[in-house]
Amino acid sequence: MSVMIMFMYFMEIMARYESPRLIVLFHHILACGDGIMVMWFATSVMLKTGVVLVYFICFETLTFTGLFMYRVCAENKYTSKVIFLGIIVFGITRPLQVLIIGGIAYGSWNDESQENWQIIFQCVVTLVLSILQLFTLKIHYAVWKKVTLMSEKIPKKIDAVSNTKGKEFDEENQENE
């Protein structure tokens, strides 16, 4: 499972090769590095925390669906709703992720079969990933706000060239700012 997630992240990095965001790039490299560490040091604490981190990736689906909709059909009335719902789900699940990893760490700390450096390592990785993900909520909020403004300003007529509308919107907003 970790290999599939790493593959997905590498594909996303390759898709953004022209204009990568450093925060996203660092997030993906850190997550892939953690996946390699989980496979290399396959102790119970590494596997438990790895499974939790992979599980919580599932909650990013609405966010990525909303961002995909933004690229494909920004003027659709459901795009801003999907992005907003993604922001809510994403924002709620990040603290839960930290609490669950913290519980695993606390429960494993006095277990003599566990290496304490692995527990500390997974806690640090989880905190860093969660903080980075919370910072990306600012980006998602900006996209949501832009899509909401676009859906209000763009006429409801069906136009064959939807990209033209987005460019006109960007030019209007640049003039207004």
For 122, phi and psi rounded to 5 degrees?
A: -65, -35
Tell me the C-alpha distance between 72 and 80, whole Å. Answer: 13
pTM: 0.67
Tell me the C-alpha distance between 58 and 56, whole Å. Answer: 5
116-173 pLDDT tens trace: 888 888 888 888 888 888 888 888 888 898 888 877 765 544 343 344 444 544 444 4
Residue with tokens 């599932």: 58
Inform me whether the pLDDT recorded for 24 exceeds 90.
Answer: no
pLDDT value, residue 42: 80
Tell me the C-alpha distance between 13 and 24, whole Å. Answer: 8
At position 33, the amino acid (one-letter code) is: G
Tell me the C-alpha distance between 108 and 111, whole Å. Answer: 5
Tell me the C-alpha distance between 105 and 100, whole Å. Answer: 9
40-97 pLDDT tens trace: 888 888 888 888 888 888 888 888 888 888 888 878 888 888 999 999 998 898 889 8
Terminal Cα distance for the chain, rounded: 46
